[in-house]
Structure 1
Amino acid sequence: MADIDAIKRRIVMQFQRHVANPLSRRLSSQTLLETTGRVSGQPRVTPIGGRRTGTEFWLVSEFGERSNYIRNIRANNAVRLRIHGRWHAGTATLLPDDDARARLAELPRMNSLAVRAVGTDLLTVRIDLTD
């Protein structure tokens, strides 16, 4: 099963990196997460799905600790989010003890379906917005 998950993850990540993410970044309605590259120190922008609830934004990473944006958050949890075309500063917290599958039921349906379909190692992330 681990080999199948690794192949699935590799295919999906390559598709996201080279096709889906470049197209999604151009959509003004797409929520974007900006992290700081853990090696380069440069801004890294990733299209994400999730939901804002008050001063918090919740999302579930489909590949958990293997996602580059999660690895960047581990190195520096200061992030920015573009929600409805406006950038917000925030602090990301990884929540490995949260029930990510239950969390997906509270998030936008289409994104949650995609995360469940391709995800191999779900991880909940809460971003506390500071502005």
Structure 2
Amino acid sequence: MTSRAERKYRAATAFQRRLNPVLRRLPLQTLLETTGRVSGLPRATPVGGRRAGDAFWLVSEFGERSQYVRNIKADPRVRVRVRGRWHTGTAHLLPDDDPVARLRLLPRFNSAAVRAFGAGLLTVRVDLDD
């Protein structure tokens, strides 16, 4: 990772460590819940994405460096909270998908932040069970 990308990563993760605990408590915040690859405990991460039919789409701003992506690689079974309702599903990492094009289909505010602060974008699709 370049030094600029590394600085972006460090700044974004420092900011998210402070903001994410607050966002997780908001009832309508979209959350992705993975299982911790080491602890085995549920890990909820605020995300921006969109449900399209039986799938939920999002773009990881730091690709495979994101902790939730690392958790998905260890166990793809996840839950997604959309509009206050939990859905179970299986997450798929899509390195061949164009994440910039995908961001154009997702909520604007989050997409702008991901484009501005991200490095190594990665598309994630969650196939929902219900």
**TM bin (shorter chain):** over 0.9
Unaligned segments of structure 2, at least 5 residues: none
Structure 1 counterpart of 2:4: 4
Structure 2 residue aligned with 1:29: 28
What is the CA RMSD across the aligned residues, in angstroms? 0.9
Counterpart position of 2:111:
112
TM-score with structure 2 length normalisation?
0.97
Number of the residue aligned with 2:81: 82
Distance 2:26 2:79 in 1: 17
1:125 is matched with 124
Distance in 2 (alpha carbons) for counterparts of 1:11 and 1:99 = 25
2:69: which partner in 1? 70
Q: Could you tell me how far apart the structure 2 residues matched to 1:7 and 1:109 are?
A: 24
Report what 1:16 is aligned to: 16
Moved more, 43-52 or 2-11: 2-11
Aligned length, in residue pairs? 130
Question: Quick one: percent identity of the two aligned structures?
Answer: 65
Task: Point out where structure 1 has 5 or more consecutive residues left out of the alignment.
Answer: none
Tell me the SS of whatever aligns to 2:16. helix
- Matched to 2:119, the amino acid is T
CA distance in 2, matches of 1:8, 1:102: 21
1:30-68, CA deviations, whole angstroms, 9 ceiling, x for partnerless residues? 000100000111110000000000110000000000000
What CA distance in whole angstroms lies between the structure 1 residues aligned with 2:33 and 2:128?
13
SS at structure 2 position matched to 1:15: helix
Q: TM-score, normalised by structure 1?
A: 0.97
Q: Once the 2 structures are TM-superposed, how far is the Cα of residue 23 of structure 1 from its aligned partner?
A: 1.1
- How many Å apart are 1:15 and its aligned residue? 1.1
How is 1:38-57 mapped onto 2 (pairs within 5 angstroms)? 38-57=37-56
Q: Which runs of 4+ in 1 moved over 4 A?
A: none
